[in-house]
Amino acid sequence: MATAPATLERVARMSFGQVYPLYVTKVERKGRTQAELDEVISWLTGFDGAEIAQHVANETTFAEFFDQSSLNTRASLITGVICGVRVEDIEEPLMQKVRYLDKLVDELAKGKAMEKVLRS
């Protein structure tokens, strides 16, 4: 599925530092922790906790964030629907990576076991 160019550009310029606190709020509201969120982000991107904090502080864009990441080789196992779109059908690499992250955050917030979230 193709994403509109304007949407793709807007997402690419969006600051990871602005979205991260929303992820934290979402998972904490559901009884999960920031540490668990960071574990999920680390699994997907290869960044450690300090690197995640640095990206948040620097307000790194999503394009820069994922360009600098080392996507987990098991990321393709992330399937399902997010925002009405199957993540495995998204054509644009950046949008797919952002939706992978959204899907993992949703699964964490819904109480899924960490082993399943991390595709262990």
Instruction: Please tell me the class of the 5-117 domain.
Output: mainly alpha
pLDDT of residue 14: 94
Contact in structure between 109 and 28 (CB atoms under 8 Å): no
Judged against a pLDDT cut of 90, whether residue 6 lies above it is answered with: no
- Among all chains, which residue has been given the structure tokens 């399937």? 79
Report phi then psi at 43, rounded to 5: -60, -45
- pLDDT for position 45: 98
Q: Residue 11: which pLDDT band, with cuts at 50, 70 and 90?
A: confident
pTM of the model: 0.92
Over residues 46-69, the pLDDT tens digits come to 999 999 999 999 999 999 999 999
Q: Where are the domains of the chain?
A: 5-117
Question: Residue 62: which of 35, 109, 96 has the closest Cα?
Answer: 96
- The region that residue 66 occupies, defined by phi over 0 for left and psi between -120 and 50 for alpha, beta otherwise, is alpha
